[in-house]
Amino acid sequence: MNNPADYITGLHHLTVSVGSAQEDIDFVTQVLGMRMIKQTVLFDGAASIYHLYYANADAEVGSVWTTFPFKKAGVYGRKGSGQIETSSFSVPTASLEFWVKHLNKHNVPHSGIIERFGDKMITFEDRSGIGMAVVGCDNDNRNAWETEEISKVNGIRGLFGATIRSRDIIEMDFYLTKVLKFSKVGQDGDFHRYHIKDGGAQKTIELHHVPNMEQGSWTFAVGIPHHIAFATAKDEHNLELKAYIEGFGYTDVTELKDRNYFHSIYNRTPSGALFEFATSDIGFAIDEEENLLGHQLLLPPVFEHRREEIVKPLEEIVLPKYLRV
């Protein structure tokens, strides 16, 4: 490895703030059909907010979707530029007809099957207004979680990529290509596509050029995406990456933060979107067995003595059937 940017292997997870916890659990497990793998809380700040994690059948890095339900706390924000516009999930192209019917059945308004960069996809929003897409990708062997309504064949394999709304392309293009060493692979209308290494599922980032759109909220708030996390292997790589990014003059790279299931650094990008770089060497089985992932509310050891005060304000939730043990 000559360049710390080479340590980035693809997406690690995507994180958004949503409405109520129950609405989120129902949408992600029933409409998206993902596996709920972790119930914990937001580690930053003083408010008690759930942090819910979902993934594919194998709870793999690069399949992870995480949410902060902010409705109970009553925190709302503004949509705009400098935010993730669309979080996209990888499904087989042949399953898109199924997804049209499935979204209709659940009363989720959608785009129908559209095409961008030659990929067929359907765009829609979750119940809180988070932009999402299922993207047809036939080169993705990851295992989808199976539900009563979604077969393993049709299910979400993991993350495909993310589209960022950016008022400016030049500075963000520099950051993506010269700093992070992603490759620019094309432009389709106002969309610019970048590949991490060889691209495809888990390795695709797009910019949507929106020069006239006002800046959206950077805060946690209902219906507002929060960050894109990229995967690195371990702490040493993140520390090298931090020093490397700071060397360009982007001095706002955070210290290494302990997220219990991974260790992360964060950097505000020229687009306004927040990037995280998260290690892959710890994983979700650190505090519960692989086959029981998500079945109980888990706190990091440093929060455990405050469990009662943290849990009390949280919304009561009904878990998916497979987690009711």
Smallest gap from residue 15 Cβ to Fe ion (A): 4
Smallest gap from residue 162 Cβ to Fe ion (A): 12
Any contact of residue 284 with Fe ion (CB under 5 A)? no
Smallest gap from residue 39 Cβ to Fe ion (A): 16
Any contact of residue 51 with Fe ion (CB under 5 A)? no
Kindly tell me which residue out of 159, 229, 241, 323 binds Fe ion, with binding defined by CB under 5 A. Answer: 229
Distances (CA, A) of 202 to 4, 8, 196, 233: 19, 11, 8, 15
Q: Kindly give the pairing relationship between strand 64-69 and strand 10-18.
A: parallel
Cα angle: 264, vertex 44, 226; to 5 degrees: 70
Of 150 and 229, which CB lies nearer to Fe ion in the complex structure?
229
Of 68 and 175, which CB lies nearer to Fe ion in the complex structure?
68
Cα angle: 86, vertex 91, 96; to 5 degrees: 90
Give DSSP secondary structure letters for 164-216.
EEES-SHHHHHIIIIIS--EEEEEETTEEEEESTT-STTSEEEEEE-TTPPB-
Smallest gap from residue 113 Cβ to Fe ion (A): 31
Smallest gap from residue 17 Cβ to Fe ion (A): 12
Any contact of residue 276 with Fe ion (CB under 5 A)? yes
DSSP classification of residue 320 = -
Any contact of residue 15 with Fe ion (CB under 5 A)? yes
Q: Give CA torsion, residues 219, 222, 228, 232, to 10 deg.
A: 90
Smallest gap from residue 220 Cβ to Fe ion (A): 12
Of 224 and 229, which CB lies nearer to Fe ion in the complex structure?
229
Of 82 and 92, which CB lies nearer to Fe ion in the complex structure?
82
Of 172 and 278, which CB lies nearer to Fe ion in the complex structure?
278
Answer whether 128's CB lies under 8 Å from 189's CB. Answer: no
Smallest gap from residue 317 Cβ to Fe ion (A): 21
Smallest gap from residue 184 Cβ to Fe ion (A): 25
Q: Which of these, 190, 173, 212, 226, lies nearest to 43 by C-alpha position?
A: 226
Of 51 and 102, which CB lies nearer to Fe ion in the complex structure?
51
Of 119 and 276, which CB lies nearer to Fe ion in the complex structure?
276
Q: Under rule CB under 5 A, how many of the chain's residues touch Fe ion?
A: 3
Of 165 and 263, which CB lies nearer to Fe ion in the complex structure?
263
Burial label for 148, CB within 10 Å (0-12, 13-18, 19+), is: exposed
Any contact of residue 85 with Fe ion (CB under 5 A)? no
Q: Which stretch binds Fe ion (CB under 5 A): 89-97, 135-143, 222-230, 281-289?
A: 222-230
Q: Which stretch binds Fe ion (CB under 5 A): 77-85, 177-185, 190-198, 272-280?
A: 272-280
Smallest gap from residue 229 Cβ to Fe ion (A): 4
Of 11 and 108, which CB lies nearer to Fe ion in the complex structure?
11
Tokens of 173: 């293009």
Query: Strand, coil or helix: what is 310?
Result: helix
Cα angle: 74, vertex 78, 81; to 5 degrees: 150
Give CA–CA dist 289/292, Å, rounded: 5
Query: Strand, coil or helix: what is 301?
Result: helix
Q: Which stretch binds Fe ion (CB under 5 A): 86-94, 104-112, 143-151, 221-229?
A: 221-229
Binding residues (CB under 5 A) for Fe ion: these are 15, 229, 276
